[in-house]
Structure formats: structure tokens, C-alpha cells
Structure 1
């Protein structure tokens, strides 16, 4: 029985896996993209509510710093979770499939635009809080220079500067309420800075996710190429073994033919000798 190559032979032991491979849903990534997009719609509907609270806070309309911070933190948590989902989608092995790539790119751009909207709202809020700080300082120190006003809006120094200005202006009676308002706005500025830093980090994570996944994809491709190379090498060895077996069998038949021919020749010589001598047929 001849040996067969590993591929292309019916019933070859290594041509198929005996264990069925589970089939991945071809629409899984597209469905995930649609789900993330729907959740982005929900988050974006909360941004106008956040902006309304921020304006009420800076205008003294009744919104507290706790309300603003709470809603902002909640929205930040939602963006963080959605950005993580986008990164996981982009890291899937079939994310580069021509069927999936366009939709994933659309989702990635949509995610970044949405984060940018949140950044703009926070940046505008920071600007309004800083402007309010400047106005408050001008009230307690009308002769303040531009440098002093810039220092007032610098993180970490505004409370001390306000306190000193109130003491110098001899407005001790209103110091407590003014300092409380200043402290709230100072904490608001710090929270805004933390939020903006985290949003910037989300942008960087979205941009670096593909780079982080590329070595993994390359490794998968390398392993696949190595497997294919080994399979081809195995086929070559098997093909050589088949040729060798055929050659050995051919040599065996040649040797057998030579032996038979020799035996026939020997028998012919013996009969010829006996006939010539006349002893066998007389």
C-alpha cells in the first residue's frame, strides 16, 4: 500500500481535525459596533444636562458643586466603559476584515467626536469658573493687576490669595462666605483638570490600541505561516517516501527478473550439454 501526501488525499489522518471548530458569528463585531453606538447616543443626551448644571453653578442659579461633579463623574464612567469596548473591538482578530473595518473606523471616529464634545463642555466650564474667580477678586481688590488676576486662577493658590486680599481690604465680615465660594470654585477647577486629563488619556488609549495589538496579530500570522511551512515540508517528505518506496519495489522486481533469467540460462546450458554428450537422451 502506497503512502499518501498529507493534503489532497481522502481520509488522510492529518488533513482534518476530528474536533469540530466552533463557528464565530460573522456579524458579532458589527452588532457590537451598533450596540456601542447606541450607548454613545444615550451618553450624549446627558451632555446638555451637564452644561445646564454648570451654567447654574457659575451664575449662582442654585446648582451645587456636588451636583456638577456627580453628573460629570457619571458621564466620565460611561465614556471610560465605552472606550474600553471600542478598544476591545479594534483588538479582535477579524477587526481588519474588509467587511468589518469600515464600520469599526466609523465607530472609532464617532467615539472621538463624542469625547471631544465632553472635553469642550468641561473646557468651557473651566473658562467660566476662572472668569468668575477674576470678577470676585476684582470686587475685593479693585486695583488688582493682570498678573494678580492670572495668579488667582492658577490652581492651588486662589484661596490663599483671596484670603489675603479680603484681610487687606478690611472685609472680614464677608470673608467667610466669600472664601466658601472661592473654595468651591477652586475645587471645581481641580476636578475639571482631572476630567480633562482622563479624557486626553482615553484619546491616547484609542490611538495606541491598534499598535499594542499589532504584535499579537503578527505573531498569529507568523504561527500560521510556520504551520503551513511545516505542513508543506511534511508533504515533501511523504512524497519523497512514496517515490523511494516505488523505486525500491521496482528494484525488487528487476532483481527477481535477473534471478529468473539466470536460472533459465543455467537450465538451458545443462540441457544443451546433456544433448551434446548424448548421455541423457540415448
Structure 2
């Protein structure tokens, strides 16, 4: 299997405070990996199986990334300060971007190896294609669930930040701010809540709190968009799998019909052969009967027209005796 580096994502994540990452490595930091691409020809069986192996390997890489994303999300929720949170958010964005690139690559590869009726080894391709597509769909669902869980946790953090910044905010107002974030709308309502803070609160940490609320709003918005994209990708793969099943079912049904027609034709040929044999047998019987009749007629005619030599000879002998 040949390998092609399509995208180098191995950029070091930024470290807060300008500290060099080599002198002070950050916990939970991960190196981005290059995206691998198989150059096999899926028209042959060997090429098809190589593509399946490549897709499975990439799916394993996606699952590893999802586990790393979960770890980074947990670290981000437990960050001690805004600088630490910003550093982890940068790593999380890079890891999410890499994972999305891997998933797009797998989607394209699955579409490239989709079985068609022209393949003579359709049954093998059908099983392999179905298995790898279902595996990818499971991975999509896992990634989507991780995003949903983090979105809920971020919403709870968002709510706490708003309540700390503005204790007078009502539950309905907070729900409206969260709903705006999930719908991808600007943080207008959250800003209005921040603007209603008292002068004492503003003197304490007004702008810092507002920035933190905006960041959390953007996190929720990005998560909501990611969940929507993953749902669309899952539906696309599900449609592809169902459509493939329908096409293959039609092919199998046509094959069964052809086999049935052939069996029916074989039965009809068998009947025709049987009838032909019966006809020939009847012809021979008729010919035998006709021959017997002809023989009988010939015998009768021969007996009827045969000369009576015995009675003529007796007459001559009696006449001779009288003359003597």
C-alpha cells in the first residue's frame, strides 16, 4: 500500500505565556499526524482489499483522536485559569480539525469503493463494503455523542459564568442565552446580560467576564455546528448503505429470476424431449402395426392366388387308367 502525505498537521500547539514547549511540556498535549492516503486501484480485488484495510486503519486513527478529544475536553473544563483554558482550547481545535479531515477522507474512500453490478466478485465486495461502512457509522455516532456530552457540560459552565457575572439573571434569560449559542446566533442576549451588571461588578472583572462568556458562547456554537455536521454525515452514510442494499437486492432478485427462468426452461426442454421420445415410440409402434398388417395382407394374397397343383395331377392319372 503506497502512502501519500496529503496534509501535515504536526504543528506544535501554542503554549500560554510564551514558554517554550520543549522546556516545559504541557500535559495532555498531542502531536498532530499526517493524513495517509492509499493509492490502490479498487477495480481489482487486491486493490479493493487494500482500500478496505486503509479505511479500517484510518477509522482506528479517528477513534484514537476521539479519545484524545475527550481527554482535552475534560482538561478544558477543569482549567485553573483563562490562559490554561485558551491553551487547551487551541489543542482541542487542532485535534478536532484533524479528526474532521480524517472523516472526510474516509467518506470519500467509501464512495470510491462502492460496489457496482459490473463487479464479478460482487458478493465479497458487498460484505466488505457493508462492514467498513457500519464501522465508520459507529465512529461517527461516538464522535457525535462526545460532542453532545461536551456541549451539555459547556452549557452548564456557561450558565455558571452568567450567574456569577449577573446574579439577577433569570432562568429564562439564561436559557435564551444558551439557546442562542446552540443555534449559532451571536451572543447578543448574553452581552445584554453582562451590560446589566452593577458598577461594582464591572469594576471587578467586567471585561474579563464578558470575554469569558463570549468564548464559552463560541464553544457551544462550534459544538452545535459539529453535531449537526456529524448528524448529516451519519445520514449520508446511512443513505449510501441503504441504497447499496437496495441495488444489490435488485441484482439478487434479477439473478434469482434468471435462475428460475433457466430452471423453468430446463423443465420445458425436458418435457419436449420426453414428448419427442414418446412421439418416436408411437411412430415405431404405428410402423410395426403397419408392417404386420402388410405382412398379413401379403400372406393372405399369396394363399388366395397360389396354384392348386395337387388336384390337377390326380385328374390326369385317372384318365390314363381308363384308356388302358
1:182 is displaced (CA, Å) by 5.1
Match of 1:67 in 2: 94
Q: How many angstroms does 1:228 deviate by?
A: 0.9
Asked whether 1:238 is paired with 2:273, we answer yes
8 Å contact from structure 2 (residues 194, 210) kept in 1: no
TM-score by length of 1: 0.64
In structure 2, distance between residues paired with 1:203 and 1:72: 17
Between 1:125-134 and 1:195-204, the stretch displaced more is 195-204
Q: What is the RMSD of the two structures over their aligned residues, measured on CA atoms?
A: 4.6
Structure 1 gaps of 5+ residues are: 1-23
- Cα distance, 1:32 vs. partner? 8.2
CA apart distance, 1:222:
3.2
Q: Verify: 1:193 aligned to 2:220, yes or no.
A: no
Instruction: Give the CA deviation at 1:234.
Output: 1.7
Evaluate the alpha carbon distance shift between residue 193 and residue 109 of structure 1 in structure 2; reply closer, same or farther with a 3 A threshold: closer
2:187 aligns to what? 159
Distance 2:67 2:162 in 1: 30
Going from structure 1 to structure 2, the CA distance change for 1:82 and 1:40 (only over 3 Å counts) comes to farther
Show CA shifts across 1:92-140 (max 9, x none): 8647xxxx98x99987875565444323322223223323332342344
Runs (5+) with no aligned partner, structure 2: 1-43, 78-84, 317-324
Per-residue deviation at 1:215? 4.8
- Corresponding residue for 2:19? none
CA contact (8 A) 1:159 1:183 kept: yes
Report SS of the residue matched to 2:169.
Answer: coil
Q: In structure 2, what is the Cα distance between the partners aligned to 1:42 and 1:192? A: 19
SS in 2 for 1:245: helix
Deviation at 1:162, TM superposition (A): 1.5
How many residue pairs get aligned? The number is 249
| Cα 1:73–1:108 shift into 2, 3 Å | closer
Deviation at 1:77, TM superposition (A): 2.1
RCO (CA 8 Å, sep 6+): is it higher in 1 or 2? 1
Say if 1:134 and 1:175 are closer, same or farther in 2 by CA, change over 3 A: closer
Q: 251-260 or 162-171, which moves further after superposition?
A: 162-171
Which residue of the partner structure matches residue 132 of structure 1? 157
For the Cα contact (< 8 Å) 1:83–1:206, is it kept in 2?
no
2:89 aligned counterpart, secondary structure: coil
Correspondence 1:172-251 to 2 at 5 A:
177=211, 181=215, 184-198=218-232, 200-201=234-235, 204-205=238-239, 208=242, 212=246, 213-251=248-286
Map Cα deviations across residues 47-73 of structure 1 (whole Å, 9 max, x no partner). 233335545666322534853552242
Deviation for aligned residue 1:88: 5.5
**C-alpha distance in 2 between matches for 1:265 and 1:160:** 127
Answer whether contact 1:83 1:111 (CA < 8 A) is retained: no
Work out whether residues 187 and 217 of structure 2, in 8 Å CA contact, stay in contact via their aligned partners in 1: yes
| Separation of aligned partners in 2, 1:195 and 1:239 | 67
Q: Which has the larger radius of gyration?
A: 2
Equivalent residue number for residue 196 of structure 2: 168
Q: Which moved more, 1:75-84 or 1:213-222?
A: 75-84
Kindly state the Cα deviation for residue 225 of structure 1 after the two structures are TM-superposed.
1.9
Contact 1:54 1:125 in 2 (8 A): yes
| Whole-angstrom CA distance in 2 between matches of 1:250 and 1:125 | 93
In 2, Cα distance between the equivalents of 1:249 and 1:259?
15
Aligned to 1:260: 295
